[in-house]
Amino acid sequence: MATLKILEFPNPNLRKIAVPVTSFDSDLKCLIDNMFETMYEANGIGLAATQVDVHKRLLVLDVSEERNDPKVFVNPTIDVIESDLADYDEGCLSVPGFYETVSRPKKITVSAQDKEGSQFEIEADGVLSVCIQHEIDHLDGKLFVDYLSPLKRNRIKDKLQKEQKSISS
């Protein structure tokens, strides 16, 4: 296993639209293992392939307190079953150090494939619902900062760009 480099906002590759996964082979299983290792090492609760510069439709997450409930969703799609919005303080491994409130539909159903390619469906609310919606946004090139005012988004962008310059020089 290996940890992967996480792209940080405003890296333009975070805007790419991911393509469906078509082969459920050993390369996919290796990518999934490495994404879990990367997410756990960074203390994240969710990670989309886009964030590690792989533009395929899959995400991993673990919203459990004990960090022992890994879940993988390949080619996920969501249906909103409760359009009432709920606020949640969101962060993102690609936007380190920043948390802001975002409103999203409360309750969803998610259809996806597992790592073997078998189709499944789950219902989600609470933090699981937020996390799945946040991660599927990544697969469509979208970030939680896109829901904020341009002023807030640009402040975050400027601060992160300054940090990235001071580290890479």
Distance CA 89, CA 36 (A): 23
Q: Is 59 near Co ion (CB under 5 A)? A: no
**One of 20, 96, 126, 150 touching ligand QAP (CB under 6 A):** 96
Q: Which does 150 bind (CB under 5 to 8 A by kind): Co ion, ligand QAP, none?
A: none
Residue 50: both structure tokens together: 């886009």
Q: Is 131 near ligand QAP (CB under 6 A)? A: yes
Q: By C-alpha distance, which of 93, 108, 106, 107 is closest to 144?
A: 93
**One of 61, 92, 112, 139 touching Co ion (CB under 5 A):** 92
Q: Is 160 near ligand QAP (CB under 6 A)? A: no
Q: Is 18 near Co ion (CB under 5 A)? A: no
Strand order in the sheet with 100-113: 46-48, 58-61, 71-90, 100-113, 119-124
Q: Is 12 near ligand QAP (CB under 6 A)? A: no
